[in-house]
Amino acid sequence: MRVPRPFVAYLRVYEPLSAFPPASRDRLRHMAENSPLDRADVGVHEQLMWLKSQEVGAATRLPGERPDGSPLPTRDVMAVRAESGELLVCPLDLRARSAAAVVGFLSTAANPLREATLGESADRLRHKAGTVLADMPGGAVHVVSTTWTVPLPWFVLVQPSERVVTGEGATRTVYWLIPMRTARKRVQRAFELAEATFGESGPTKVLQDTGRWLAHFHEDSMVELDYGGLVQLMADDDIDADTSAEDVNAILDAIEQPDPGAVAERFERLREFWSELAVRERMQ
């Protein structure tokens, strides 16, 4: 029986091997060519890696570490081919992503929750997480994720015609894969429109953060928006009826015209589609 995937969606960046430190390129190439992770399996793999890290070792141990807390060599990667045929690699960066999650938790959680969860380990884990992030090659992780939904600003990266749907049932995937140069142009356009229309908060902040994140990577990279485990919550009819990319891009066009009526109509369609997933989250 196949283990259900976590209800997580992803933005990923696949970089050329030349973008990585020379000492790691041969290892990355070997893994990418011989044992890359599949989109339909990567969510469960990440979940198991996190659980494994909690079985042995101190409370400050992160996924991708030895029991003594030292980092393991990168072993978990995804891979795609560019239009040119060049091999592009996306390390999962589990250790750094977990460190970022720790920093976020410690920055936002109330004191009682921090004490109940980490106790006396909180300060040590905060220091360790900060060190891990400071040592991150390139200054950014290759994967960002979100649970139960897809942030609507992410859809400015893609066009409806670029969507790929593969497999069925437990192995079904829904994703978009686009060149980095295209992604950066689309995010910049959307950011400028959002800033002029909505100010500096809300979707504008998400777009600004996304643009800054993309700027860390090689210009010959590919960017992927992957529904991940969210497809388990969608029937075939739901996927067929999903016009999120079309609606978000139509909103940008309507803002440029301007056409307030079209903006409101598209926002309502998006709200109706994604609110059904939000209801399922509350039922868990």
Question: pLDDT of 172-205, one tens digit each?
Answer: 999 999 999 999 999 999 999 999 988 988 899 9
Structure-token pair, residue 46: 């990440």
Q: Phi and psi at residue 174, in whole multiples of 5°? A: -130, 120
171 pLDDT exceeds 90? no
Of 117-121, 146-150, 274-278, least confident by mean pLDDT is: 117-121
Of 10-14, 53-57, 168-172, 228-232, least confident by mean pLDDT is: 53-57
- Mean pLDDT of the chain, nearest integer: 87
Q: Phi and psi at residue 97, in whole multiples of 5°? A: -65, -40
Report residue 280's pLDDT band, with 50, 70 and 90 as the boundaries: low
pLDDT value of position 103: 77
**How many whole angstroms separate alpha carbon 25 and alpha carbon 134?**
21
pLDDT value of position 86: 96
> Distances in Å between the alpha carbon of 208 and those of 97, 176, 213, 220?
20, 21, 9, 21
Over residues 121-131, the mean pLDDT reads 75
Residue 13 CB neighbours (<10 A): 26
pLDDT value of position 59: 61
Q: Phi and psi at residue 159, in whole multiples of 5°? A: -115, 150
Q: Which residue has the higher pLDDT, 121 or 209?
A: 209
pTM: 0.90
Q: Which residue has the higher pLDDT, 16 or 261?
A: 16
Report residue 64's pLDDT band, with 50, 70 and 90 as the boundaries: confident
C-alpha torsion angle, residues 279, 233, 179, 162 (rounded to 10): -110
pLDDT value of position 57: 55
Q: Delimit the domains of the chain by residue range.
A: 7-14+143-284
Report CA 53 to chain centroid distance, whole Å.
Answer: 21
> Distances in Å between the alpha carbon of 152 and those of 215, 235, 247?
20, 20, 10
Over residues 122-128, the mean pLDDT reads 75
**How many whole angstroms separate alpha carbon 156 and alpha carbon 195?**
14
What is the dihedral sign for C-alpha 32, 34, 40, 43? negative
Residue 189 · residue 207 · CB < 8 Å = no
Report residue 281's pLDDT band, with 50, 70 and 90 as the boundaries: low
What string of H, E and C letters represents the secondary structure of the chain? CCCCCCCEEEEEEEEEHHHCCHHHHHHHHHHHHHCCCCHHHHHHHHHHHHHHHHHCCCCCCCCCECCCCCECCCCCEEEEECCCCCEEEEECCHHHHHHHHHHHHHHHCCHHHHHHHHHHHHHHHHHHHHHHHHCCHHHCCCEEEEECCCCHHHHHHCCHHHEEEECCHHHCEEEEEEEHHHHHHHHHHHHHHHHHHHCCCCHHHHHHHHHHHHCCCCCCCEEEEECHHHHHHCCHHHHHHCCHHHHHHHHHHHHHCCCHHHHHHHHHHHHHHHHHHHHHHHHC
Short-list 146, 153, 149, CA closest to 279: 149
Question: pLDDT of 20-37, one tens digit each?
Answer: 999 999 999 999 999 999
Question: pLDDT of 238-247, one tens digit each?
Answer: 999 999 999 9
Question: pLDDT of 12-21, one tens digit each?
Answer: 999 999 999 9
- The owner of tokens 């309507």 is 254
pLDDT value of position 126: 77
101 pLDDT exceeds 60? yes
